[in-house]
Structure 1
Amino acid sequence: MLDWFANANPVLQATLAGVFTWLMTTLGSALVFFFNDINRRVLDIMNGFAAGVMIAASFWSLLAPSIEASVEAGWGRLAFFPALVGFLVGGLFLRGIDYITPHLHMGKNKTDAEGPKTKLPATTLLFLAVTIHNIPEGLSVGVGFGAQELGLSSLASAMVLTMGIGLQNFPEGAALSMPIRAEGASKWRAFQLGQASALVEIVGAAIGALLVSQVTVILPYALAFAAGAMIFVCVEQLIPESQSHGNSDIATIALLVGFGVMMTLDVALG
């Protein structure tokens, strides 16, 4: 089975990897059937850990290969330029999506919803917030597999990135389904919205791999784009949420642990 996967087309590999990250979200969302709510301290720890994983993945799995690709393309001392452009555009892209899409971050009241004014229920706004921020995760998985075409990412490295994203998707699924349950939705409804928020990762992974494998010149930009979008999510959502409820110390330690876990996986196995 592993041999078949290793020899598969990178787009297919990325799509299957996206399915894996979605399944991890689904497993996390299923916790709503066993628990009525999630302890705020636990949620802050989850958010801190997820931020650490994403920050580490942004550098080791995305930005470093982006700069390496530019060096190999002959950019010389300007090898930072594609990475810089892609990184900034990735963050601004997520900011633009935030601006045009109504959404509500976890732990906020509906009056604090961001984006255009809307009459959508709080549960839908929570779902939209997490779905928006799952976009860069799917793209990062896709470009990781697509980068194999130029030898800038090994199968092992792409799989480590997928493992890291999946690892932080498990608590993310729970962190979405349980607040939705707390808003009054049924457990089944909360579970459905929780798992559905990660479906975009499958699509994003396939698109990212397809673009990179077909238009190789965009590879350094695409890698950095995914990194910028992921850092935007960390700074705009995960870190503030983990630090705003009196659990800043343990949440910060969780971030360090998440960073360390992802760094270890990428360097040791990638």
Structure 2
Amino acid sequence: MIDFFHQFNPVTQALIATLFTWALTAAGAALVFFTKNINQKLFDSTLGFAAGVMIAASFWSLLSPGIEMAEQLGHTPWLTAVIGFMSGGIFMRLTDKFLPHLHPGLSIDKSEGIKTSWQRSTLLVLAITLHNIPEGLAVGVAFGAVAANLPSATMGGAIALAIGIGIQNFPEGTAVSMPLRREGMSKKKSFFMGQASGMVEPIAGVLGALFVINMQQILPYALCFAAGAMIFVVVEELIPESQRNYKNIDTVTMATMIGFSVMMILDVSLG
């Protein structure tokens, strides 16, 4: 797999990787063709698993390499990490504040961001799209970092990040398509809306790669920025959504730990 990616330039690598993550979003949305409902405990567990993957990816694939890269480039490692990490969180907070969106399972009056007359389906798609912006960006930045030929950025690590993001995208596609199907939307339209939430990832991935391959000095900041944005999504959305049903908290917590372990294994073994 690593040899396959080596034959392409960093931007194409990022595009291929994020098309893969988008495909898994679509695969999750495709469950709507087989059922209107999914076991709530199972669904909460998949969200918890996704949270664990993103937490692990934020450290193993983004923060740790970013800190090492900052040291290699002569930056102050801890300062670079803090500036990048907090900038990512602030960026997502501002996006969350102004972009109209609605989290799955909530009524239309609980929508966030600027108030609009947009339909519930559109707001649901935007909520998951908000998740996917930092994910696509992280994959693009990871592949762009490999082009800098610094020891802390490896092709295996970038591929591991793409695989991990792809795995946790599966339940995100389901999180959009299933509620829409239960509300009476057709299977085809529910699927289309579900997979559409992942369309932003290839765009963000390509932009991230383009941005960093020409500006090596900002690479450590970009990696830490992506980590901060992902942690914001996990803490502000994924974990609260996965633990909304108190009866499932223990199971969801274990699923989160399993997700963390899976991503850690991927990154350590491939990176």
Q: Give the structure 2 partner of residue 260 of structure 1.
A: 261
Partner of 1:18: 18
Question: What is the number of residues matched between the two proteins?
Answer: 268
Change (3 A) 1:134 1:235: same
Q: TM-score, normalised by structure 2?
A: 0.96
Pairwise CA distance, 1:66: 0.7
Q: Deviations over 1:154-187 (max 9, x none)?
A: 1111111000000111122112210121222111
Task: Give the match for residue 228 of structure 1.
Answer: 228
Distance in 1 of aligned mates of 2:144 and 2:154: 10
Give the Cα–Cα distance (whole angstroms) in 1 for the partners of residues 5 and 158 of structure 2.
Answer: 12
Equivalent position SS for 2:147? helix
Q: Is the 8 A contact 2:145 2:153 kept in 1?
A: yes
AA in 2 matched with 1:66: G
Tell me the secondary structure at the aligned position of residue 158 of structure 1: helix
What pairs with 1:52-201 in structure 2 (closer than 5 Å)?
52-75=52-75, 78-150=76-148, 151=150, 152-201=152-201
| Contact preservation (8 Å) 1:49, 1:168 | yes
| Superimposed CA distance per residue, residues 135-156 of structure 1 (whole angstroms, 9 cap, x where no aligned partner) | 0000000011011122232111
Distance 1:11 1:116 in 2: 34
CA deviation digits over 1:206-262, x for unaligned, max 9? 011111111111101100110011000000110001111121111100000000000
In structure 2, C-alpha distance between the alignment counterparts of 1:41 and 1:123, rounded to whole Å: 23
How large is the RMSD of aligned CA atoms in angstroms? 1.2
Deviation of 1:4 (Å): 4.9
Q: What amino acid is aligned across from residue 267 of structure 1 in structure 2?
A: V
Q: In 1, distance between residues paired with 2:197 and 2:9?
A: 26
1:122 maps to a residue whose letter is R
Q: Quick one: which amino acid aligns to residue 260 of structure 1?
A: S
**Counterparts of 1:121 and 1:149, CA distance in 2:** 43
What code does the residue aligned with 2:260 have? F
Segments of 5+ residues of structure 1 without an aligned counterpart are none
Structure-1 separation of matches of 2:236 and 2:181: 24
Distance in 2 separating the partners of 1:102 and 1:64:
33
CA contact (8 A) 1:123 1:183 kept: no
Aligned-partner residue type, residue 88 of structure 2 = G
Trace 1:33-48 onto structure 2 (pairs within 5 A). 33-48=33-48
Tell me the TM-score normalized by structure 1: 0.96
**How far apart are residue 32 of structure 1 and its match?**
0.4
